[in-house]
Every structure is written in C-alpha cells, then in structure tokens.
Structure 1
Amino acid sequence: MASTIETATPLSQRTPQVSVDDLLAGLEPSFRFAEVSFDSYIPDQAHPSQAEAVEALRGFTQTIGAKPAGSLLGRLFGGKSKPAGAAGIYLDGGFGVGKTHLLASLYHAAGERGVPGDRRAFGTFVEYTNLVGALSFRRTVEVLSSYQLVCIDEFELDDAGDTTLMSRLLRELADAGVKLAATSNTLPGALGDGRFAADDFKREIQVLADQFRVVRVDGEDYRHRGLAEAPPPLADSAVEEFAAEHFSDQQVVVDDFTALCEHLSTVHPSRYRQLLTDVDVLVLKDVETITAQALALRFVVLADRLYDQDVKVVASGVPFDQLFTAEMMSGGYMKKYHRAVSRLTALVRSGQMGEQAL
C-alpha cells in the first residue's frame, strides 16, 4: 500500500503579512548561517584568496564600533585610495565560494566584541529596499544610522531606481559612522552592467564603489566540489510517496510548480522568507523551464530563501539545471541564475539522496 503523509498548506496558498517590526527583527542571519564563524570556514588551499579574505574580515571586525575618522563625503571625491578604516568591505567572487558564510561570520564576530550599544543588521539587498518602501527613505536612514554594522548579502542592482536609492542610503549611513559589508558576484563598479542603462548612472555607481574596500574571493563552487551529478527528477506520481517514506516526521509542503510560479507574482520577494515558515521539505511537482525573466528573478529569490532555511527539495519534471533558458544562463543576470541552480541542486541532493546541503 502506498505511503501517505499529512502535508502543510502549500506555498501557493500562503499570503504572509510582514510588519515593519518583523522586517527589522528579521535583519539577522538565517537558520543556515545562525552559528557560523571564521573558524568554521574552511579555505580551499588551492585558492589563497579565501584565507586572505578571512584575515581581511577579521581585521575589519576590529574597526566596528570605532568612531569614524571624518566624513566619508570628503573621501569620496578625493581619489580612489582606501584608508585603513574604510567604511565598507565588499566580498566579490563567484557563487559557491562561501561569501555568505563569511559575511555572517563577520556579523557574529562583531557581536562577540561586546562593544557598548551593539546593533547590527544582516539582510539581503531586496530586504533593505523593501525596508525603505515600508519606512520611507529618511526613516530608514534614521533607524539604520544607530547601527554599528549593516551587512548586505547578494548585492545586485537590477534597475536604475535601486542604484540611486542604495547609493544615497549607503552614503548617508557611512557618513553616520556605520560600517558596511556586502557580498556580490559583481565588482561594485560593474553593478548594473547588461541590465539597464548603467552609463546614465555612473556617478551613483561610482559612489557605491568608492565606499567599499573590495576583497576578492576566488574558488570553485564548494556545494558541488567532488560530488556526483544531481539525482534525476522523480516521476510526478512518485514524489509524494517518496516524501511520505522519507520525511514522515517533518513538515512537508506539496506544490504544483505552475501554481507556485503564478502565486510568486502576487507576493513581494521580501516576504518569501515568511512564505517558508515551518517548512522542512518542499515537494515540487512538474517543474518546467521558466521563460519569463520577471518570474525567473522571483524564483531566484525563492531559491535563496529555500537555501537559507535549509529546506530539502523533492521534485519531478525537468532537472534544475534546465530551470532557466540558455539565454538567461548567459545573459545579464547569469550569475544570479547560476547561483540559484547551484543552491537548488544542493537542496535536491539533500532531499532525494540524503546528503547534507552544504
């Protein structure tokens, strides 16, 4: 007799409401990165820049909470040299080299210093832009100016409005003495390339670039280094039985892929973390290649939140290396799509092969 399992409300039927207080309270590392540290990051000896990045971040930690040495505005237009106490540090590297691990380690290490009045924020780029939308720009500056460290993960500028917004926000926070740290797959001076008319916003992009000391993190995708190929998708008729057999003691959610995609267009990406509340396993039925860019970008955010929360994935349909079109995988957003495929593949290995999703 086929196994059955009681499943939770599908994601496609959830409409999470997030208050301003929830947004502020959520500005901390996710479950996956709640206890990481510089010591738990294992640098690849074949890529010395990884060990160098750890040391650079350890040094940067010591500057958090110190009084700023003059206004950043005076430094922005006075040349490209970076003083020892630069306002920000920026981890640039490909997907799967551990940048988020390092950023979360910085967040935790700053808290361990015990500096009086310690206040820190850790969030994704989209969470900060949504915070501005919920609070207003001026109120966001007032709130975050009282923080000693603001960490921005997955820094990607997808449109001109975000470029201007984040340029102003980070400039004002830096002038208030807030230390900034960010990760991205793109050098700050190249943000926006291939996505919008970046040439029209060179000044704003340069202001962003000038606020950070860039630390390169080279390496291979550690999530799949030395591992076998991802397991093939299951048959559509078998996914729920598989979940019942392997995850009877966990919270399982079953979603039709098409229904979920339609629902994602109605939920702001900043709420995707709450969309996954109390979900241990996501069963996705009949996965198809996404052909619409707007939906693809939303699914990237969902993939990031699934990975953050360490949600195991069991799926039928096309394999995740075919989730996005060939044009998307080689276009202006290619680094986002490659990161999503890497993370989803790790979660499928965890769900269908029992491997720990690194």
Structure 2
Amino acid sequence: MVPPPRFAGARFDTYLPDPAQPSQAEAVEVLSGFAAGLGPGPEPEGGLRRWFGRGRKPAAPAGPRGVYLDGGYGVGKTHLLASLWHATPAEPERKAFGTFVELTNLVGALGFQETVRTLGGHRLLCIDEFELDDPGDTVLVSTLLGKLVEAGVGLAATSNTLPGRLGEGRFAAQDFLREIQGLSAHFRPLRIDGEDYRHRGLPQAPPPATDEEVERAAHATGGASLDTFPALLGHLSRVHPSRYGALTDGVRAVCLTGVHPVPDQSTALRLVVLADRLYDREVPVLASGVPFDQLFGEDMLKGGYRKKYFRAISRLTALARDARRLTDPADGNGADGDRAGRDRARPED
C-alpha cells in the first residue's frame, strides 16, 4: 500500500500551485504542517518495531484527526496525497496509501478486526478517490476509521465530493446520515480549486485511430495488448475490480478496436476502475471507434456517478495523447512532449 508508479516521485516541492488559485498553495502549507505533526510515533514496547505496530498507542487528539482534499478532477489532489505520504516522517511500513476500493478490498481479504490491527499501528492512512457507493460501505468505513482514529492513526483522503455529501444521488443517503456525519467528523475539509491541468492549454484530444493503425501499432510495440472493446468489457465483467491493477502488470500499451458507448452503469463503473489503474501506471491507450468523451451517455453524466465518469474521460484522454507516439514516434509534440509540458505546467493528479 504505497503510492502508484505515476506518483512515486511526487513531493510538495514538485507541486506547482496556480497563482490564480490561492487554495492550492494553502493546501501545500496545511499538508506540510500535517505531515510534520504526525511524526514517527512512539516506539513499541521493548524497543522493537513490529510489522503490525502492536505497541504503545498515543492518545487520540481532540477534533479532526485527518484532512480531506476536495476539488474537481485534475487539480492535483492525488499528487498532494502522495506527497503527504512521502513527507510523513515514518517508516514505509508504518504508513499506507491506497484507493477507497483497495481499502474495502483489504477488509474483505483480512477481515475487519485484522484490518484494524494491521492499520492500527500506522502513523498515516491515505485514501485516494474516496467514494461511498452503497450503505454497506458507508457503515463499514465509518466504523473502521473510527477505530483507527482511536488508535491514533492520521487520516488523509481525496474525493470530488465533500464529506457531508458522500453518497448523494447513489443511495438513500438520508437513511445513513449518522454514519456519513461520523465520517465527516474525522476530517478537516480542504477545498482545492482550479482547472483540469491535464487538458488546460493543450490541443484538442487526438481523434480515434483506425482499426488498421491500432493493429499495426500493437504488433510493433513490445508488451502491448490488442483487444476489441466488447471483448474487453466482457472480460472485465468476469474479473473482480480489485484485480484490475494486476491485470495491467507488464502491459506497456493498451490497443483497442471498436470503442463504443458503454451500455449500462455497471459496465461503466468497471471501466472507470480500469481507467484509474491504467493512469496510475502511465499505460498509453490507443483506440479506434468513438472518442473517449462519448463513452458515457448523457444520463450517466448527469447521475450520481458523474464525477467518476468525468475523471475517467479526463484520464483516458490524457492516455490517448500519450499513445500518439505508438503511431508516430517522431512526433515532437507526441506523448513524451505532452508529458514534459504537463510536468512543467502542473502536477500530476
């Protein structure tokens, strides 16, 4: 549970705040102070560190024990979260970083009590893409974070939704208001304003390739995958989303033919998870068919999961730009040029 490859080098001093958005500089200042305040923590009894941290526990402080980064997609929240993980003065085994889905999967794999014991000795838990999509997750995470706060664990999370509004438009949030408010009490919300750096000032997203271009690039690129889009969607339906990261191991490029709008919400949400894992691992995506901004229907883009879909469109479009080098390696404005320009202009999110 460490920051993914894209953010292995993320640091506060590599985050470049937009002068027009004071909240970005404020976030760096607040998070830097939060990291320093966590400290390495007390030594376990007997002077020996233990993997699961069963030592003396510090008393939980009054007030929020965490920070919650709220803002639109592409403003650098994940960069800041990873920077916090790196800046916290604790050994790597005493701090954890993962997505909300990975956290719930961890509970499923270890069981609730063992998860509490495993994470309870940590100084920091970073949760990226915090979402509450069903009542069960609401109660589970609320209870888990409450236990971790009692154990003195610092919390940090990113989301596109303020803590008090988690779950809106997806299930009867009012029926679980107590649990949602309990979650909110653990965090100090920190709003980060700004534009999506991935596309600000860049040319329009490249048009889809032809089937022939996709197939030719796949055969010419070592480690590339080649699938039809319907076959990919069918395969994702048979693999648990917790395995999508492993699914991409060793893949240097994803080549898809026949991309079309996704037919239903379950399929769309699986595609969102895959897009996040591909983006984390910087895997370019070359595709034929419809452009990525036409993947999700208007009803989806107006529904409760709309922010997930917009994030997926933003990330897939960035990966499509990266894929231009597969069809034209000599293009000076291709993937490598785009990435360098983005790194100079804005941090990764």
Q: Same fold (TM over 0.5)?
A: yes
Tell me the equivalent position of 1:161: 136
Deviations 1:282-311 (A, max 9, x none): 001110101210110111000000000000
Contact 1:96 1:220 survives alignment (8 Å): yes
Does residue 204 of the first structure (1) align with residue 179 of the second (2)? yes
Tell me the equivalent position of 1:125: 100
Q: Which SS does the other structure have where 1:39 is aligned?
A: helix
Q: Which SS does the other structure have where 1:342 is aligned?
A: helix
Deviations 1:48-77 (A, max 9, x none): 1001000010010012145787446xx5xx
Deviations 1:204-252 (A, max 9, x none): 000100000111100000000111111110112221213455xx3x421
* One-letter code aligned to 1:203: R
1:272 to 244, 254, 262: 244
Tell me the equivalent position of 2:30: 56
- Distance in 1 (alpha carbons) for counterparts of 2:206 and 2:91: 50
Percent identical among aligned pairs is 59
Tell me the equivalent position of 2:9: 35
Tell me the equivalent position of 1:256: 228
Deviations 1:283-340 (A, max 9, x none): 0111010121011011100000000000011000110000111111111110000000
Instruction: Please report the RMSD computed on the Cα atoms of aligned residues, expressed in angstroms.
Output: 1.6
TM-score (norm: length of structure 2) = 0.87
2:276 to 295, 304, 307: 304
Question: Closer, same or farther in 2 for the Cα pair 1:125/1:345, shift >3 Å?
Answer: same
Does residue 175 of the first structure (1) align with residue 150 of the second (2)? yes
Does residue 295 of the first structure (1) align with residue 267 of the second (2)? yes
Tell me the equivalent position of 1:108: 86
Please list, as runs of the form range in 1=range in 2, the aligned pairs for 1:182-193 lying within 5 A after superposition: 182-193=157-168
Question: Structure 2 unaligned runs (5+)?
Answer: 43-56, 326-333, 343-349
Q: Which SS does the other structure have where 2:37 is aligned?
A: coil
Contact 1:118 1:148 survives alignment (8 Å): no
Does residue 98 of the first structure (1) align with residue 76 of the second (2)? yes
Tell me the equivalent position of 1:346: 318
Question: Closer, same or farther in 2 for the Cα pair 1:316/1:116, shift >3 Å?
Answer: closer
More deviation, 173-182/265-274: 265-274
Question: Closer, same or farther in 2 for the Cα pair 1:194/1:117, shift >3 Å?
Answer: closer
2:209 to 234, 237, 242: 234
Does residue 334 of the first structure (1) align with residue 306 of the second (2)? yes
* One-letter code aligned to 2:6: R
Q: Which SS does the other structure have where 2:125 is aligned?
A: strand
* One-letter code aligned to 2:286: V
How far does residue 181 in structure 1 lie from its aligned partner after superposition? 0.4
Q: Which SS does the other structure have where 2:188 is aligned?
A: strand
* One-letter code aligned to 1:106: L
The total of aligned residue pairs comes to: 315
Contact 1:288 1:323 survives alignment (8 Å): yes
Contact 2:95 2:122 survives alignment (8 Å): yes
Question: Closer, same or farther in 2 for the Cα pair 1:98/1:60, shift >3 Å?
Answer: same
Q: Which SS does the other structure have where 1:286 is aligned?
A: strand
- Distance in 2 (alpha carbons) for counterparts of 1:116 and 1:63: 15
- Distance in 2 (alpha carbons) for counterparts of 1:326 and 1:243: 32
